[in-house]
Amino acid sequence: MTNLSAAPELIGAPYALAVNAVLIAEAAGADVDAAFAALGIRVRDRADFAAAAPLLDSARLDLVLLDARASGAAVPAPLLDRLAMCGLEDGPALVAIFPADQIDLAGALLGAPRAQLLCDPGAGELLAALLGVVAGGEAAARLSLADVTRDSEAVRLRRLNDEVARIADILARLTRGEFAEEDEIERRAGIRAPDMEYRGPDEPMPEIAAAEIRAVIRARRLRAQYFASDLFADPAWDMLLDLFAAGLERRRVSVSSLCIAAAVPPTTALRWIGTMHDAGLFRREADPGDRRRAYIVLSEKAQQGMRSYVGAVRRAGLSLV
């Protein structure tokens, strides 16, 4: 049940906030209804999976919430395809909740505009996701809460990319700064081009064995046996390593497998997957056997960046970490 004391000033919030929602669920959780009530979100329509599609064309619709937790069956592919279009042309925001055993279906919505993907969220995660929708609309001036988790993760991602850029001079800085127009385009793609000063002959790309990267991953996981795991939470780098190793092994990685590799709660992992996808480091490949699912792979530029990073570490006489 949602802990409404987490946002006491929002209890009984008036419908003047003008957030209109469609709730899609076979049986929505009580925490969703409580969160809607706490934030003043008006449910204009409710529908099960089979009847939901026509409701998505409703005018003045601000939010679509999909709750797949109570369903014995997976969300149908046509509905996922339609939900992936939410947010286009000023359409509604999308919040999609999946149970842990259906987290792979979240891959079908990866990259969807204004989408937030949750996996068995706690009360705070659900409120934060919905508050982002409310604060993004007419209520923005009246609400001042922030998603602290998202902010702290953004700091970690900036630190990761700064470190890699200094070593390999390939991975992009994802933070905003004063860039030339061409640099800004490259920054948004997630990879930074080498600087123009003289560097000498280009070094050949190193030969890298998947076992070498897997050994690094195992060493990183060993830390959790001796220290609290959250001290070293670094999901972006953990996922980069896992996808790089999988690429060397010519193995495809599902969303659920990548969430495990991230070593953070699944909703946090989904948020990072979306961030890395938007940065141009990850791309999704549809599962040919089930179009509701998708595999995650490194983009070509991300692969080049990882290889260059390994080469730079070796030339410096350092160890991969």
Domain 147-321 has CATH 1.20.1250.20: no
Task: Give bridge partners of residue 115 from the DSSP assignment.
Answer: 94
Tell me which of 6-10, 54-58, 102-106, 238-242 is least confident: 6-10
Each residue's pLDDT tens digit, 173-190: 333 343 344 444 444 455
Q: Which residue in the block uniquely carries the two structure tokens 């990879």?
A: 191
Question: Binning pLDDT at 50, 70 and 90, where does residue 15 land?
Answer: very low
CA distance 90 to 244: 36
User: Which DSSP helix (H) or strand (E) runs through 65?
Assistant: strand 63-67
Eight-class DSSP state of 226: T
User: Which residue, among 138, 122, 117, 111, has the nearest Cα to 41 in the 3D structure?
Assistant: 138
Other C-beta atoms closer than 10 Å to the C-beta of 174 total 23
CA distance 175 to 258: 24
What residues does CATH 1.10.10.10 cover in the chain? 147-321
What residues does CATH 3.40.50.2300 cover in the chain? 4-142
User: Which residue, among 308, 302, 243, has the nearest Cα to 269 in the 3D structure?
Assistant: 243
Largest CA distance in the chain: 67
Question: Binning pLDDT at 50, 70 and 90, where does residue 156 land?
Answer: low
Contact in structure between 216 and 198 (CB atoms under 8 Å): no
Contact in structure between 98 and 68 (CB atoms under 8 Å): yes
User: Does 85 score more than 70 pLDDT?
Assistant: yes
> CA 305, 240, 243 angle in degrees (round to 5)?
105
CATH architecture, domain 4-142: 3-Layer(aba) Sandwich (3.40)
Which of 9 and 189 is assigned the larger pLDDT? 189
